């Protein structure tokens, strides 16, 4: 058994197939991918990586398996899935994931191809584990895939605690020990034992509090959008391919952006934190449905039109339209009065938090500081927003619940 | 300056009038009064005292004054109020407060009489501070009393963090540093600066999560009710007076209960954690209004009637009816779009948490384990509850969000 | 299984005989005995109890047993010993232990009589465990008693971390997780596995740093000496017996001291922190051997003589002569180069720390503030110290490494 | 004022010249330089950067200045030095520093050239601060340079706490708050106030405990040596210059190593953690003086000779000879009995820790796993070590106090 010191879970003992997987290039690569991408530009201590998070998820999965009384080959397969669950991440984690997925058809949890080759395949085979079964678990499928990717998965339990620890924000502190201990399998569903409505709620509350101050902090949003735009340019000019980009680490992507003349300005801005500013920061209710439902190509069209209307370079406009808010935790299952029920049917909080997630949602249009006014007006005309209200929004902070670090 | 090491705020520097007050018997007594009364019977680490909490409140008040730019005599008066704010607490904090208040007319924050005598009066006078002005601040009055007792007071900021730290429960973690830094005085009202809707919400969320697992955990409720009943008997048999009881410490009350033959059984039960169990644990909607609005005398009548109906000793029945839920934090004021607004008008969460506080509310009837069934049935008949539902409630855990440690 | 939330180890699961022992009056009494006696007068947050410490020792013992591969009846006996190991403590832990031991012949770890009666005996018997075997383990005897009381025992591992956590002092932080994991049994001796010289050293370093700032802080020493003196008076006047005193809790002793006219002044001083001050604070090398080797009766004689010479009341003089320094951890056994060796033979640090413990040692003579000068001079004459040096020592802080909170 | 959330010091307020310096490329670059270089290969959570450390040092310096009553232009200059003190670091912090220094003549704290150009110079000039005065402070010169670089500097206070926090190792926990509070300037020397012998000792103890398990863990030593060797090859083949290397960030160096055919194998080994192993791990007393005193050129000669003798590629041998141990903290000055004294004259521990630092010292010879035996024998012959003893040393762990994670 290898024992590894972790700043969140203290000692983590790794053994069996997980110990063999630990030494593979695919897993070692995660040491060089920051868990929160560009969030470090807001919270300087947030430099933790997908590698330590993978160890944490393995640790909680192992504890959960032991509580659930699952052992043997099934357990070993799940432990493999736990430690491998993030092996498909692009550099800077979610920041360029959609970009790569549009071209490769693979999101970060679609990893069959990665498990079926090289050292990972060898390690799995050595322990009589079928790579495709592990890939299925990572995608949330199979009997116990819910433990890896589902409403009550150990992934979430680890990242909420870990992200809070490393950002220094006190809001993500859930009782991971209790959550793991209270998991049950009933009729093929992962649920929380009786008496845990509040335990389940605390997961949602933590995410709801972390969202605006960490995950969707406007500086994180802007820097992530700039990184994504720069990476897209890199692909467009043929400096790299989507398949290569998918397997880079943070260092590889940073240097590629610096070395390509089309993206060097973005790289310089990211390196020196000379970020774009908000030209528009609009609430969900003010955004037309056709913008919300537009695909990537249409949004790029909008950007070009805004740039042209504002008389600025096309790269000086970034239109950032997140997916509509959703809260998968709300379907977590808890045992109440002897029956399995969805959390949303039991909890007043869930309804409120769902509404809060709608209120926290923002569309952003970003531009270099000196262009924000022109770009804001052009965006208003192009995508049909009411600019007067929004200028106030940006500059006076209407309804903003965001930390302005 | 005296520097004191605190497990929550690290070093606390105490100077001026506060340093002189520190040495008074009135403040030293708080070393022997547990902050959370009988909650230690649920969370064994929760042995922190009103003394360390008083230091913490002083520390945060001092930081807030410095942020608000308040200095000189006004500040010194507030610092005196901060360190003295809990000097009126009865033994075991809130556990016997109402009992004493009914007989003395004084709740824990009504302390004029205590400040106007002895060493406290001498220390205040030495620093040219009028005791009655300090008492007014402690009661939340005066220009800056809101800082000591109000919706955004430093009392709450300290106790949420401290209670979480000492129970080990991860839910009370607010960002006290940020809260103190963002306080402003606008038009005589204490408010949070712009961009802090979520900071304000986090205070409510913390309380809402702490309530069922700590403050109103059923074992805490039961032990507190037993302590209150025993103390009431002590007064009834004349073993002590309410005025004496008000100034005892935890040790004094414990021993008094042991030494009085009428209360020795309660003392033994508390000492050995042989607590009553729930005969009834009813939700707000199932409790008739006349019970909710009944005064202490009427409730005692109900208890006697239940006991008689169940054929048990009157001391074997405790009817525990908390006040209707209220959330004073919901009127916290935050600056939004340049205007001061009440948090409840800005926050979806507040509405949900208010509803949650109604759902978490419980009426309890407690009895020795072997009498719970008889007492439950008698209580049902006496105060008009629907027992069938409730028996399920108690024994199967319907809707219970309580930690069953 | 009962799960208990602990502020140090998070969740502690208690089962088997330990769960049954948890409910006994003997163990519940430990909730009301502070782990560090009067140290709370120096560190206001240090209110933790022998009860939570007992849970922590049980938790670490259980983890160690699992690492060592010890299961079944032997393990269950050891778990019983772990949770019961402090059941013999007098009120305020070590503060009055020697006083009671002189009269009852029993130190806190001599508990056969306590295990052979009442609920504890019943719980042990129910699990087929012989009370005397458990008592032997608690005293450090038997095959595995070293785990409970020895150089590498789990008692020490818990208290160093717990005392640091609750005082807020950062020096006691050892790696308890690693220590427990590295324990081995070789030839009937508990040792640390190869590669752990430093792990073993860290235990000594932690104690060495904690000693002067916590355990032997002069205010802790003075208050402890006053409590001991007051308790001795209580016994002398027959207000209680040593056997009764042994089984009191903190509250019982505090109130007994208040209620006895001979000790009420001491009680008042302790309650209001109006403590004696140092009249003498002498280093080991300045103290004559006959004083170091004197028994309690002789020291009491010295006190009376000092009082008489200074013209003060006998109760105004306390002579506090600790045992000569010793460091039991220095004989910890570690595996080095395949052999078991004593730590002291491997570690340069051990020698230094032993010397440091000699340098930190102090004899104290305490008196009411206004009498310190007269008492200091009288003590000098009586027990043969060089006062001129010592007056400087006390008032200017020569060589003092003590925190002056 | 900018407020930044830090995982160690919570909120750090940055204002004045420091706020302007924060936005310079020179400081932003530190976000991409890991504080502990390759230590992350041992402790996966140790990904903190020089940027957050610089903020921490600024924060402690600001607190110390306020305690020392230093304000105005002198203080502003010191704050500038504090936040800029690590601006001269090479990629991976100390890992390649010596390599660059041999060619540029500049260690990381020799930064005049960096402060006299670009945005840093502009920010300093804007605040009427002379760049060369700041450079002098960073090098430990000038009246208050000791606060930035000296035996009691705030640099050390921050890094010990921060490195412990991020590795998860519990040994670096000093009382930084107390240290900062107790600093005094006496006769132009920075000293600790009376009563702080132990506070000063705790700094040494922390470093002494952190050294073998963190800073000189053998895996950290090996990976650092490999990185240094690879970087040296990069310079030798002219893929970059020392001046360029000095200003790279971690990403830039990693990618440069990957892209150069001469270093790609090293890059691959570092990326996949396929590290060299110890062929020799020798104690100080076993190493001939001429090896200890050899300069870099001579050591390179030894490496080539070892390789030739062992019949392996020259890059398959790394000879790693650290400087002789030294403990600058031992000359820390403390006030004892009204006089300023060097800590080493007051503290038994210092002598022991100095001896321990000699015992912990190791010379290493590293090679690919399959070559260790041949390389070990060749090294023995070449530099005159007694191999038989050493083979035991490596494989059986004689005297090793290192954590084997």
Rounded mean pLDDT, A187-210: 86
Q: Where residue C395 falls among pLDDT bands split at 50, 70, 90?
A: very low
> Would you call D346 an interface residue with chain C, using a CB distance cutoff of 8 Å?
yes
Q: What is the pLDDT of residues C195-228, one digit of tens each?
A: 888 888 888 888 888 998 999 999 999 999 999 9
Counted residue by residue, chain A has a size of 405
Q: Rounded CA gap, C110 and C103, in Å?
A: 14
- Containing D16, the helix (H) or strand (E) segment is none
> Would you call C272 an interface residue with chain B, using a CB distance cutoff of 8 Å?
yes
> Would you call D199 an interface residue with chain A, using a CB distance cutoff of 8 Å?
no
Q: What is the pLDDT of residues A328-348, one digit of tens each?
A: 767 788 888 788 888 888 777
Q: Rounded CA gap, D205 and D121, in Å?
A: 39
Rounded mean pLDDT, D83-94: 96
Reduced to 3 states (helix: H, G, I; strand: E, B; else coil), residue C211 is: helix
Interface test with C, best of D165, D214, D344, D348 (most C CBs within 10 A): D348
Q: Which of B10, B178, B181 sits opposite D177 (nearest CB)?
A: B10
Closest chain A residue to the Cα of B197, Cα to Cα: A401
Residues of D in contact with A25 (CB under 8 A): 271-272
Q: Which region among A200-214, A387-401, C328-342, D81-95 has the lowest average model confidence (pLDDT)?
A: A387-401
Q: Which of C170, C348, C401 sits opposite D198 (nearest CB)?
A: C401
Q: What is the pLDDT of residues A381-392, one digit of tens each?
A: 999 886 555 543
| Residue A181 to residue C10, Cβ atoms within 8 A | no
Q: Where residue B388 falls among pLDDT bands split at 50, 70, 90?
A: low
> Would you call A280 an interface residue with chain B, using a CB distance cutoff of 8 Å?
no
Count residue pairs from A and C with Cβ separation < 8 A: 10
Pair D209, C224: CB distance under 8 Å: no
> Would you call A11 an interface residue with chain C, using a CB distance cutoff of 8 Å?
yes
> Would you call D6 an interface residue with chain B, using a CB distance cutoff of 8 Å?
no
Closest chain A residue to the Cα of D404, Cα to Cα: A3
| Residue C337 to residue D399, Cβ atoms within 8 A | yes
> Would you call A195 an interface residue with chain C, using a CB distance cutoff of 8 Å?
no
Q: Which of B205, B352, B400 sits opposite A195 (nearest CB)?
A: B400
Tokens representing D371?
A: 């070559």
Residues of C in contact with D392 (CB under 8 A): 337
String of DSSP letters for C223-292: HHHHHHHHHHHHHHTTSS-HHHHHH--HHHHHHHHHHSTTTHHHHHHHHHT---EEEEEEEGGGS-HHHH
> Would you call D352 an interface residue with chain C, using a CB distance cutoff of 8 Å?
yes
Q: How many CB atoms lie within 10 A of CB B244?
A: 15
> Would you call B28 an interface residue with chain A, using a CB distance cutoff of 8 Å?
no
Q: What is the pLDDT of residues C14-34, one digit of tens each?
A: 999 999 999 999 999 999 999
Contacts (Cβ under 8 Å, ≥6 apart) of B182: B192, B193, B196, B199
| pLDDT of D13 higher than 70 | yes
Whole-number average pLDDT of chain D: 91
Give the distance from residue B198's alpha carbon to the nearest chain A alpha carbon, in angstroms. Answer: 5
Whole-number average pLDDT of chain A: 91
Q: Which region among B351-365, D228-242, D355-369 has the lowest average model confidence (pLDDT)?
A: B351-365
Closest chain A residue to the Cα of C175, Cα to Cα: A10
Rounded mean pLDDT, B339-356: 82
**Residue A388 pLDDT:** 55
Give the distance from residue D175's alpha carbon to the nearest chain B alpha carbon, in angstroms. Answer: 9
- Containing B280, the helix (H) or strand (E) segment is strand B277-283
Q: How deeply is C3 buried, as exposed, middle or buried, from its count of CB atoms within 10 A (0-12, 13-18, 19+)?
A: middle
Q: Which region among A305-314, B182-191, C158-167 has the lowest average model confidence (pLDDT)?
A: B182-191
Q: What percent of chain A has pLDDT over 90?
A: 73
Q: Where residue A401 falls among pLDDT bands split at 50, 70, 90?
A: very low
| pLDDT of A325 higher than 90 | no
| Residue C49 to residue B51, Cβ atoms within 8 A | no
**Residue D310 pLDDT:** 97
Q: Where residue D344 falls among pLDDT bands split at 50, 70, 90?
A: confident
Q: Where residue D393 falls among pLDDT bands split at 50, 70, 90?
A: very low
**Residue A151 pLDDT:** 85
Rounded mean pLDDT, D243-254: 98
**Residue D37 pLDDT:** 96
Closest among C78, C86, C99, C74 to C33, alpha carbons compared: C86
Those chains having 3 or more beta-carbon pairs within 8 angstroms of chain D are: A, B, C
| Residue C167 to residue B7, Cβ atoms within 8 A | yes
Q: Which of B171, B198, B397 sits opposite A195 (nearest CB)?
A: B397
How much is the pTM? 0.91
Tokens representing A283?
A: 């609430």
Counted residue by residue, chain C has a size of 405
Q: What is the pLDDT of residues C97-150, one digit of tens each?
A: 999 999 999 999 999 999 999 999 999 999 999 999 999 999 999 888 999 998
Give the distance from residue A245's alpha carbon to the nearest chain C alpha carbon, in angstroms. Answer: 40
Q: Rounded CA gap, B210 and B165, in Å?
A: 12
Interface test with A, best of C1, C9, C11 (most A CBs within 10 A): C11
| pLDDT of A149 higher than 90 | yes
Reduced to 3 states (helix: H, G, I; strand: E, B; else coil), residue A211 is: helix
Residues of D in contact with A169 (CB under 8 A): 5
Q: What is the pLDDT of residues D15-73, one digit of tens each?
A: 999 999 999 999 999 999 999 999 999 999 999 999 999 999 999 999 999 999 999 99
String of DSSP letters for B158-207: HHHHHHHHHH--TT----HHHHHHTEEEETTEEEEPTT-HHHHHHHHHHH
Give the distance from residue B95's alpha carbon to the nearest chain A alpha carbon, in angstroms. Answer: 25
| Residue B40 to residue C23, Cβ atoms within 8 A | no
Tokens representing C224?
A: 């402890």
**Residue A341 pLDDT:** 87
| Residue C337 to residue D398, Cβ atoms within 8 A | yes
Return the ∠ at Cα A26 (arms to A21 and A27), rounded to 5°: 55
| pLDDT of D396 higher than 60 | no
Rounded mean pLDDT, D315-337: 86
| pLDDT of C182 higher than 60 | yes
Taken in order of first residue, the domains within chain B and their CATH numbers are 2-184 (1.10.3210.10), 276-324+361-405 (3.30.70)
Pair A107, A101: CB distance under 8 Å: yes
Q: Rounded CA gap, D63 and B36, in Å?
A: 35
ipTM value: 0.93
Q: Where residue C386 falls among pLDDT bands split at 50, 70, 90?
A: low
> Would you call D175 an interface residue with chain C, using a CB distance cutoff of 8 Å?
yes
> Would you call A1 an interface residue with chain C, using a CB distance cutoff of 8 Å?
no
Interface test with C, best of A181, A195, A199 (most C CBs within 10 A): A181
Tell which D residues from 55 to 84 touch C, by Cβ distance under 8 Å. Answer: none
Q: What is the pLDDT of residues C265-286, one digit of tens each?
A: 999 999 999 999 999 999 998 9
Whole-number average pLDDT of chain C: 91
């Amino acid at each position: 058994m290898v024992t590894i010191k972790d700043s969140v879970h203290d000692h983590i003992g790794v053994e069996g197939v997980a110990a063999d997987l630990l030494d593979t290039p695919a897993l070692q690569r995660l040491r060089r991918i920051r868990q929160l991408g560009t969030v470090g530009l807001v919270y300087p201590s947030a430099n933790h990586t997908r590698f330590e998070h993978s160890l944490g998820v393995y640790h909680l999965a192992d504890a959960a398996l032991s509580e659930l009384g699952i052992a043997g080959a099934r357990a070993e397969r799940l432990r493999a899935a736990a430690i491998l669950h993030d092996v498909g991440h692009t550099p800077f984690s979610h920041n360029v994931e959609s970009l790569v997925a549009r071209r490769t058809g693979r999101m970060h949890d679609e990893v069959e191809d990665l498990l079926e080759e090289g050292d990972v395949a060898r390690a799995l085979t050595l322990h009589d584990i079928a790579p495709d079964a592990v890939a299925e678990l990572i995608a949330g499928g199979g009997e116990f895939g819910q433990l890896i990717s589902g409403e009550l998965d150990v992934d979430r339990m680890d990242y909420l605690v870990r992200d809070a620890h490393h950002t220094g924000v006190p809001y993500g502190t859930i009782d991971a020990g209790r959550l793991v201990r209270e998991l049950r399998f009933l009729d093929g569903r992962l649920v929380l034992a009786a008496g845990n409505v509040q335990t389940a709620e605390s997961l949602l509350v933590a995410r709801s509090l972390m969202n605006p101050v960490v995950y969707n902090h406007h500086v994180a949003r802007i820097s992530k959008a700039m990184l994504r735009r720069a990476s897209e340019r890199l692909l467009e000019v043929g400096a790299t391919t989507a398949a290569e980009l998918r397997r880079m680490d943070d260092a590889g992507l940073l240097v590629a952006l610096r070395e390509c003349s089309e993206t060097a300005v973005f790289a310089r801005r990211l390196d020196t934190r000379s970020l774009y500013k908000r030209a528009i920061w609009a609430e969900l209710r003010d955004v037309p449905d056709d913008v919300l439902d537009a695909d990537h190509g249409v949004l790029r069209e909008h950007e070009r039109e805004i740039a042209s209307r504002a008389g600025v370079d096309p790269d000086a406009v970034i239109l950032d339209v997140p997916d509509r808010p959703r809260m998968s935790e709300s379907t977590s299952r808890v045992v109440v009065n002897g029956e399995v029920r969805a959390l949303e049917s039991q909890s007043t909080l869930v309804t409120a938090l769902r509404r809060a997630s709608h209120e926290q949602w923002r569309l952003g249009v970003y531009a270099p500081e000196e262009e924000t006014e022109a770009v804001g007006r052009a965006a208003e005309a192009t995508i049909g927003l009411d600019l007067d209200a929004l200028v106030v929004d940006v500059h006076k902070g209407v309804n903003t619940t965001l930390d302005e670090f």
